[in-house]
Amino acid sequence: MIKVTLKGGDVREYEAGTPAESVVKSLGAGLYKAACVVLIDGELKDIRTVLDKDCTLEVLTFDDERGRRAFNHTASHIMAQAVKRLFPDVKLTIGPAIENGFYYDFDTEKPFTPEILTKIEEEMKKIVKENLRIERFELPVDEAVKLMEEKNEPYKVELIKEHASKGEKISFYKQGEFTELCAGPHIPDTGRVKAFKLIQCTGAYWHGDSKNKMLQRVYGIAFPKASQLEEYLNMLEEAKKRDHRKIGRELDLFDIYPEGPGFPFFLPKGMVLRNTLEDFWRKEHVAHGYQEIRTPMILSEELWHRSGHWDHYKENMYFTKIDEGDYAIKPMNCPGGMLVYKRKMHSYKDLPIRMAELGLVHRHELSGTLHGLMRVRCFTQDDAHIFMTPEQIEDEIIGVIDLIDHFYKVFGFDYHVELSTRPENSMGSDEQWEMATNGLKNALERKGIEYKINEGDGAFYGPKIDFHLTDCLGRTWQCGTIQLDFQLPERFELEYTGADGQKHRPVMLHRVVFGSIERFIGILTEQYAGAFPVWLAPVQVKVLPIADRHNEYAYKVCDTLKAAGIRVEVDDRNEKIGYRIREAQLQKIPFMLVLGDKEVESGSVAVRARSEGDKGSMSLDAFLDMVKEKIDTKSLS
């Protein structure tokens, strides 16, 4: 007999060789029906895994991210099976689960049109209805290669050889006539994928290399219930309405032109929004003890060798020659920050030193990944580098956590936190990484913040805490990050004089709050659907004289508001007042002041609010007090 410890501490005995599936069934029909995969001794496994020793076991459903990924991965296999049934000559490549759904890349001479996607969906429904059992098996490398060669799947043969060269097991999953090379895990059968939709088809290169063949990438989403799919599709429709690229053009904020793919243009109103965010950033950072610096955008190639970015990041960098020397356009601000720290000797009494920088960086992103302001080739990081003693680590991390929390509350965002640990491709000793990781963990635990661990997803120079915002549609965006770094101070030989009179190496924190000014503006645009809070709105008040005889009073009102620091415009065009009100509403102006004979005579203003409509007449002073209060408190309403 073996002992199985369930989540919550319940211990049950089973015969050795019992499938996990039997254990899940014994816990209730409802849980078994919802189960996707199981966690056995902390490892993700198929529900049919045989239990042959004492272990812990946790059932993961679609509500758990890990269960959801297995569910979506199975949906990608169902799609691939449907494609092979309809188009036997199509070659299979890869089909992973992604954050919101799944995709599969196909090598086909015939592009997948919307009509073809509909046919694939219909065939997928048949596969789901067949409720095919999904089974895993392993093969030696030579047999695996032979199997895929017989099926005329050259990409699979290539993948098998890649996995074998790394000493990995070669496993397959079979459902009906379809066999797929895959590490898994997967849900028990195809019948559980009750609802799905193929969203779009795009081009994608094999291995992401433009020198390789262009493949057809089909994206899809899947859910256990039709109601969940309907809810998600409604969210997508709302997301289309809120698309920052569309709103950015409509409100004349920003755009990207063919002459500069991935390089955004900010227009006058967009610059007002941007400058307001940057002014807020500066004010808060000064209040929290930061000094602002600016470092050059182009620095010598040698610097990037010294920092380690050349070995870990050069494929994402742009290069140039100056006076026959080799230079790089910076993809990150940190090496410049190292040089600023190193310009003079520091004492332990100077630390911590907090240096903040709104630094423009350039990164070579593939054209297929570019997306409005969300993924660009040049952006401004609201960076800061904190140099400190080892004893100051936890307090400084907590200070950054508090600052980030303050920022996100101002904009009305909830968030969750993830801790990413040492990746395979990293610099530094085990001892340094352990100290850095523990420093981040201890700070989170002192704050009482729950966090998820992403094993192996840290930066090459240190572990990190990432802050994921949740917007009004339930989507998440990774923005703020805190990265603890022992490596760059070592590589740049940074020093400070300790209380003992000896030279010591400082520890460094990299951190951002917005992440990227451009991306954060894109997120805000979609969060508010362009209807920015008053303090952020490029135009806060639109003054609308009803007739020409009211223009003089309109401009007096405008001058009074401008003198009080309000961003205001007068619309005195020869158009009907209803037309101008509707246009101001479409431009999402927070307040409109409609001025006619009554307002001129009484020295008042008739106020229309973007969200509330007609608010009636009030004195100009009362209106000004109301607007200033909303601006000063950064009200979201």
Structural class in CATH, domain 541-632: alpha beta
385 is in an annotated binding site: yes
SS3 content of the chain, % helix, strand, coil (to 5): 40, 30, 30
Q: Which CATH homologous superfamily contains domain 265-296+331-527?
A: Bira Bifunctional Protein; Domain 2 (3.30.930.10)
Query: Look-up: residue for tokens 């003992």?
Result: 500
Residue 199 sits at φ, ψ, to 5 deg, of: -85, -50
Spatial distance between the Cα atoms of 390 and 585, rounded to a whole number of angstroms: 54
Tokens of 513: 């709050």
Q: Which fold has domain 2-61?
A: Ubiquitin-like (UB roll) (3.10.20)
Amino acid letter, residue 481: T
Report residue 217: phi and psi, to 5°.
-100, 120
Task: For strands 325-329 and 298-300, give the pairing.
Answer: antiparallel
pLDDT given for residue 537 in this prediction = 98
pLDDT at 11: 92
Distance CA 618, CA 325 (A): 67
Q: Which amino acid is at 70?
A: A
The amino acid present at 475, given as its one-letter code, is: R
What positions carry a catalytic annotation?
334, 363, 381, 383, 385, 464, 510
Name 97's Cβ contacts closer than 8 Å, sequence gap at least 6.
68, 69, 70, 71, 72, 73, 76
Cβ proximity of 384 and 512 under 8 Å: yes
- The per-residue pLDDT of the chain, averaged, comes to 94
Fold observed for domain 66-240:
Threonyl-tRNA Synthetase; Chain A, domain 2 (3.30.980)
Distance CA 331, CA 362 (A): 5
Q: Which helix (H) or strand (E) holds 356?
A: strand 353-362
Q: Where are the alpha helices (DSSP H) in 219-347?
A: 226-241, 244-250, 268-287, 301-307, 309-313, 334-342
Please state, in angstroms and rounded to a whole number, the distance separating the CA atoms of residues 253 and 264.
11
In the chain, where are the structural domains located?
A: 2-61, 66-240, 265-296+331-527, 541-632
Q: Do residues 329 and 297 touch, judged by C-beta distance below 8 A?
A: yes
Handedness of CA 126, 128, 132, 135 (dihedral sign): positive
Tokens standing for residue 554? 């309109």
pLDDT for res 93: 95
Q: What is the pLDDT of residues 201-211, one digit of tens each?
A: 988 889 888 78
Are 239 and 254 in contact by the 8 Å Cβ rule? The answer is no
Cα–Cα distance for residue pair 137/46, rounded to 1 Å: 12
Helix (H) or strand (E) holding 82: helix 65-86
593: which residues sit within 8 A by CB, 6+ positions away? 541, 542, 543, 544, 557, 605, 606, 607, 608, 623
Q: What is the pLDDT of residue 570?
A: 97
Residues of the chain under the 50 pLDDT cut: none
3-state SS, residue 148: helix
Structure tokens at 403: 């600052």
DSSP reduced 3-state for 87: coil
pTM check: above 0.85: no
Common-topology check for domains 2-61 and 265-296+331-527: no
Other Cβ atoms within 10 Å of 472 Cβ, number: 13
- Work out whether the CA dihedral 487, 488, 489, 494 comes out positive or negative: positive
- Write the single-letter amino acid at 24: V
Residue from 420, 208, 217, 455 nearest 315 by CA: 208
Do 40 and 66 meet the contact criterion of CB atoms below 8 Å apart? Answer: no
d(CA 624, CA 564): 8
| Phi, psi dihedral angles at 310 (to 5 degrees) | -60, -40
